[in-house]
Chain A
Amino acid sequence: MGRSAYFSIFIALLVVLHFTLHLAIGWGGAAPDLLTVAALLAARRAPPAWAAGVGLVMGVLQDALSLVAFGASAVALSALCYIGARSRDLFEGESVLFIAVYLFLGKWSRDAVVYVLGQDPRVAPFEALVLAAPLSALYAAAVGSLALTVFRATRVERS
């Protein structure tokens, strides 16, 4: 089994863990957005077209659980994953710090797009985009970086 296959399993595990924490166990906001993390990490290794497809699929999965703005996550993730895949042409780095920044910016952007498309009148823009979104992005980036570090530490990734 090649490295890409193991990486695909890693991404799948993140997706399963996301829905387990959010849906099965019901942690809600206490659980990190591992779906976005999985999509952004997958985008860094997939071709741009496939990355957009992965973003679409994961976005639709996420939208299936939201009551408003169906398709907003799909739009956000398909675009961000494509950009993430194309970012390889600009940034070759794979360090943990780089990945953390990448995840932070990606998650923040995703939340911003979803907020704009969702047009949720209950949340003020400042609160959503400047307070909640960065914190959520920071949380996701930390967990995503940790998960990737653990994955890299495995024998499969080193070989």
Chain B
Amino acid sequence: MLEFDGTRKGRRRGALIALAFFIAALALYLLPAPYHDPIREAIRRSVLRPFVVAQSRIDVQRVTRRDLAHVRAQRDSLLAVTSAQAALAEENRQLRAALSLRTRAEDRFVAGQVLRVGLESAAGTFLVDAGSRDGVMVGSPVVAADGLLGVVVGVDPTAAQAIDWSHGEFRVSVMTADGVAYGIAEPRRGRFREEDLLVLAGAPFHSDIARGTLVVTSGRSQLYPRGIPVGTVIGIEEADTGWRKTYLVQPSVRPESVRHVLIGVGAQGGDVSALWQTVPAAPSVDAPAPRGRGPAEPRGGAG
């Protein structure tokens, strides 16, 4: 290794060596361009090769990460579409059911879409996009494919406001599908909205309504047509002073899941039991007779 000292001779030698380096740099600069490329190439392939390789790998990872993010975004979008389609499928099912019911009901119902306000103060109420122009009036029953949902309490030309069965003011005259017991169905609040039930109040004490018995509108009030499913008996709630019984009824329709409904129009009352086959016809002579308590021909007419 060269030793440089602070002497004049040493400085001169150092300056000469530095000058040699400078001349070498200048020579590189002054070299014709065709000679530059091999030098560049040699340096890139030797000293700078690790950095060049690292750059290519980092680029690959960067692109891969970008692609992965793109794939994730596509997957998330697909998931969103799929989720939306699940709701659409349910909506489609409800629409198909409603349309089928509408076909069977002919002109006695008009279709409507449920619009929920979403406020706590509006719990138990909803709007439908059918109004007086469509024949809807106060007291028109609102039904879904599975049964009774509620009743219209206010109407304007293009929309109507209704209460569902969970509303505190809802009442409907009901009977068991076999016509054995009659009563009034009214809401019974649970701890949560999902636990809300109906009760069949005022049933005669001698009645013994079995668990699972279908409860339908009786038509006695002339407000609701006869035969709309209201719910299914799930048990007895209380026996009142030995004269009446109250049964818990699991409603046929959960208000929170309904998006499309049918609203009764025209003359109220009547019998729509055929729409839901809630009151089956009498067994034919070829068919075996039902054993024990079973559905029977309804007694009496509407209301």
Contacts and interface: CB of A to CB of B under 8 A. Distances in A.
Interface of A: 19-20, 23-26, 47-53, 55-56, 59-61, 63-65, 69-72, 74-75, 77-79, 82, 117
B31 to A, nearest CB: 7
Interface stretch (B47-55, B67-75, B285-293): B47-55
A51 B19 CA distance: 11
Interface in B92-137: none
Interface stretch (B9-17, B216-224, B228-236): B9-17
Given A49-B15, A52-B22, A71 B28 contact: yes
A23 B44 CA distance: 11
A47 B48 contact: no
B55 A70 contact: no
Nearest to A59: B25
A78 B22 contact: yes
Contacts of B28: 60, 63, 70-71, 74-75
Interface string B1-12: 010100000010
A24 B29 contact: no
Contacts of A74: 24-25, 28-29
A72 B33 CA distance: 13
Contacts of A78: 18, 21-22, 24-25
B24 A56 contact: yes
B58 interface: yes
Q: Of residues B25, B26, B39, B55, which shows the largest number of chain A Cβ atoms within 10 Å of its Cβ?
A: B25
A47 B4 contact: yes
A56 B4 CA distance: 19
Given A60-B28, A70-B28, A78-B22, 14 more contacts: A19-B51, A23-B55, A48-B14, A52-B19, A60-B25, A60-B39, A61-B43, A64-B40, A65-B48, A70-B29, A71-B29, A72-B29, A74-B25, A77-B25
A70 B21 CA distance: 16
A90 B39 CA distance: 37
Contact of A75 (B4, B22, B43, B55): B22
Contacts of A117: 29
B5 to A, nearest CB: 9
Contacts of B40: 63-64, 70
B25 A75 contact: yes
Nearest to B11: A48
Q: Of residues B18, B28, B55, which shows the largest number of chain A Cβ atoms within 10 Å of its Cβ?
A: B18
Chain B contact surface mostly: helix
B51 A24 contact: yes
Contacts of B65: none
A23 B52 contact: yes
Contacts of B14: 47-49
B18 A82 contact: yes
B51 A49 contact: no
A70 B52 contact: no
Contacts of A65: 44, 48
B22 A79 contact: yes
B17 A70 contact: no
13 contacts: A20-B54, A24-B58, A47-B4, A56-B22, A56-B25, A59-B25, A60-B28, A61-B47, A70-B28, A70-B39, A74-B28, A78-B21, A82-B21
B66 to A, nearest CB: 14
Contacts of A70: 28-29, 31, 33, 36, 39-40
A77 B28 CA distance: 13
B18 A48 contact: yes
B30 interface: yes
Contacts of A61: 43, 47-48
A68 B206 CA distance: 108
B17 A64 contact: no
Contacts of A71: 25-31, 36
A63 B19 CA distance: 20
Contact of B21 (A24, A26, A55): A55
B106 to A, nearest CB: 73
A65 B39 CA distance: 11
Given A49-B2, A56-B24, A79-B22, A24 B17 contact: no
Contacts of A49: 2, 4, 13-18, 21
